[in-house]
Each structure stands twice: as C-alpha cells, then as structure tokens.
Amino acid sequence: MKKIINDANEVVQDMLDGLIAAFPNQLKLVEGTTVVARKNAPIPNKVGIISGGGSGHEPAHAGYIGKGMLDAAIAGEVFTSPTPDQVYEAIKAVDGGAGVFMVIKNYTGDMLNFEMAAELAEADGIQVAQVIVNDDVAVEDSSFTTGRRGIAGTVFVHKIAGAKAESGATLQEVQAIAEKVVNNVRSMGMALSPCTVPASGLPSFELEENEMEIGMGIHGEPGTEKKEIASANEIAEELTNKILDDMQLNSGDEVAVMINGLGSTPEMELFIVNGKVHQILSGKGIKVYETFVGEYMTSLEMAGCSVTLLKLDEELKQLLAAESLAPAFRK
C-alpha cells in the first residue's frame, strides 16, 4: 500500500484539518465532530442542506459545501457511514429555523444513521426531511444496499436542492425538487483497478491485468460482470446504453452529462469517454445542456469512470445554472 498519509487510523481527521486550512473563510469544523459546515452556518430562515457518508469519495462531500449547495457534510471513516450522533450535530449546526434537508445515498448504514439522527433532531423541535439517492442502474441490491446504490448522480441532487434552498424555498419545496432530480438521474460505472482502504491495507477487489469490471460500486462492491478490457468507445456505449434502457429519453429531450473519474483515471481518458457519450446522445436527438468532466465522486485511487445522465426541464436547468461557491463545484 503506497499512500501519502501519517497514520492509517487518522486519515479522516488529518484530511479535515487540511481542508479547513485550505478554506478558512468558507468552512469550519463543528467542534469535537467530523462535521464540516459553512463558516456562516446556520443561516437564518434558509433550509439547511446536509449530506455525507463514508470518507474516500472526495471531493464528496465536503467539497460541495458553499453558497448554492450544501450547508454541512458529515465525514464518516473511510467507506463507513457516519454515526447518528455526528449526523445529529450536523443537523443542529445548520438549522436556521426553516428546517434541515438530508441528501442520503442509498446504503443501509447511511439510511439508518441519518434517520436516527433526524429523530433526535425532531425531538428537539427541528423539522427534518430527506431524499434517498439511488441513481446506479448497475445492480439491484448490493453489498451494503437494498435496492439501487447512490453514486455520482448525488452531486446533481446537492447542486439542485442547494440552489432551491438558496432561493428561499421551504423544506417541502426543497424535498420536491430533490425527488424530481432523483427520479430523473441515472448513473453507471466501470473499473480497471481497485482501491485500498488505508486502515485495511488490502485492495477492495481483484482484477486480472486484461480485465475490467462493469457496474461495480464506489466502495468496490461487485458489479454485473468482469470481462476483457474494451475500447473507450465500447465502454461508453455499454454504460450509456444501460442508462438509456432505464430512463425515458426522447429525441429533443435535454440532459446534463457527468463523466466522473473514480480517482486515478487521467482526465484525458474521461474526455475520450465524453466524446463518445455525446455522439451516442446526438445520434438519438438528445440535446446536452451542460457537461461535467472530472472527479466528482471518487473511490480513493480506483481507476475507472462513471457516466451520469440527468434529464432536465426548465426548472432543473435554471437551478443547475444558479451560482455555486462550493470549492469543488464553482459556477
């Protein structure tokens, strides 16, 4: 295991210290927690938006904190759900009196712990609502999930729910728009190589030198199949077609495209995939409103990528285009 770390058991705290050092005017660590919040949280009368999960997916989730996106993010241990008490601290840190909205990826541990935290907060009189993101079309049920997993499409939920909250919407309105995003976003990924969780020191899965895995999860959960490495065009086709099989997209529809790198895939390769995805969509008359290429939801140093499509309407386009000052999603 080759990593630039100090102590494999302290990587999350060390990372958070380095994050706050980088953005001292925008972010703060809620004392005694692994919760990162906007410096000016809570914001009176604005719905607070929180997300989070295991660490190792950077820039998710703390990189999405800022005006127009999240108010706070909870960092669990690497690939481990944050505990209910940490989520509860995040809710309290961002409640400005208009309630708190939780963006949860569909992993059993995350759901249990966020929901327990919500109960604690509701007992304090804080209104809490939530959405469960399950954009990964690869598999039904998985190592840590009943139903579909939440992956890179979650970033679009952060962006659009965040923009809605920033516009002064109510908790119910934020929930409605977040559900609209979840209903219209689909993703699928593939990997060329695994990653290694620092505390375990072992690769998350194994692949032969000529193999790739299609549909694996962002914690190395098994996908649909291991097979010989294909060309970028074939990979783009396989991922995109699986997504298109699952969502109603017609000629003339507009989408946002995200080509997400999982950690060690050169940007060059992501752009090569992007070219083919655009060709496929163009061939079907589907218009691309905006494209995002880069590392948005990683798996430490896993090599591979995911494709995400978000079907847009006028309201979603406007919220996607709204200002964001989050470090990892400046608009």
Name the residue among 58, 20, 53 with its Cα closest to residue 39. 20
Total residues interacting with a second copy, rule: CB under 8 A? 57
Q: How far is the CB of 259 from a second copy (least distance, A)?
A: 8
Q: What distance in Å separates the CA atoms of residue 109 and residue 83, rounded to the nearest whole number?
A: 9
219 catalytic per annotation: yes
Q: Are strands 128-133 and 72-78 parallel, antiparallel or unpaired?
A: unpaired
Give the three-class secondary structure for 97: coil
Footprint of a second copy on 247-266 (CB under 8 A): 263-266
Of 123, 250, 252, 268, the residue at the interface with a second copy (CB under 8 A) is: 268
- The maximal CA–CA distance of the chain, rounded, in angstroms, is 56
Q: What distance in Å separates the CA atoms of residue 285 and residue 255, rounded to the nearest whole number?
A: 11
57 catalytic per annotation: yes
Q: Does 26 bind a second copy (CB under 8 A)?
A: no
Cβ neighbour number for residue 297 with a 10 Å cutoff: 28
Task: Show the beta-strand stretches assigned E in 134-240.
Answer: 185-193, 211-214, 225-228
Footprint of a second copy on 134-193 (CB under 8 A): 192-193
Q: Does 15 bind a second copy (CB under 8 A)?
A: yes
Q: Does 52 bind a second copy (CB under 8 A)?
A: no
- Active-site annotation holder among 57, 61, 158, 278: 57
- Summary count for the chain: helices (H), strands (E): 8, 14
Q: Does 50 bind a second copy (CB under 8 A)?
A: no
Residues near a second copy, by CB under 8 A: 2-6, 11, 14-19, 21-23, 55-56, 58-59, 63, 192-193, 195, 209, 212, 229, 231-233, 235, 263-276, 278, 288, 291, 293, 295, 298, 300-301, 303-305, 330-331
Q: Which residues are catalytic?
A: 57, 219
